Amino acid sequence: MSLELDARQRAMLEEMGVRVWSPLHPSGMDDAPARATHEAAAPTRPHAPETVAPRATTTRPEAQFDSQTAAPVPTVASALPADIAAMDWPALQQAVAGCQACGLCQGRKNTVFGVGDTQARWLVVGEAPGENEDLQGEPFVGQAGQLLDNMLKAVGLNRGATGAQGVYIANVLKCRPPANRNPQPEEVAKCEPYLRRQVELLQPQIILALGRFAAQSLLQATVPDIATIPLGKLRGQVHQYNGVPVIVSYHPAYLLRTPQDKAKAWADLCLALDVAKRVPAR
Binding-site ranges for ligand URA (CB under 6 A): 126-130, 133, 139-140, 144, 171, 253
> How far is residue 150 from each of residues 9, 246, 250, measured CA to CA in Å?
9, 20, 15
Residue 84 C-beta: closest distance to ligand URA, Å: 21
Give 116 or 126: the residue with its C-beta nearer to ligand URA. Answer: 126
Please state the closest distance from residue 217 (CB atom) to ligand URA, in A: 11
Q: How far apart are the first and last CA of the chain?
A: 24
Nearer to ligand URA, 103 or 139 (CB): 139
**In the complex with ligand URA, which residue's Cβ is closer, 5 or 151?**
151
Residue 208 Cβ vs ligand URA, minimum distance, rounded to whole Å? 12
Cα gap 216→248, rounded to integer Å = 10
Instruction: Provide, rounded to whole angstroms, the least separation between the CB of residue 140 and ligand URA.
Output: 4
CB neighbourhood size of 279 (10 A): 13
Between residues 5 and 177, which has the closer beta carbon with respect to ligand URA?
177
Instruction: Give the span between the Cα atoms of 10 and 228, in whole angstroms.
Output: 37
Residue in the shown chain whose Cβ atom is closest to ligand URA? 126
- Beta-carbon contacts of residue 129 (< 8 Å; ≥ 6 apart): 112, 139, 171, 173, 174, 175, 176
Q: Contact, 133 vs 148, CB < 8 A?
A: no
Nearest distance from C-beta of residue 115 to ligand URA, angstroms:
9
Query: Which residue number, 17 or 183, has a Cβ lying nearer to ligand URA?
Result: 183
Measured from the CB atom, the residue of 34 and 43 that comes closer to ligand URA is 43
Residue 149, helix vs strand vs coil:
helix
Residue 173 Cβ, how far from ligand URA at the closest point, in Å? 8
Of the candidates 232, 234, 237, the one whose C-alpha atom is nearest the C-alpha of residue 220 is 234
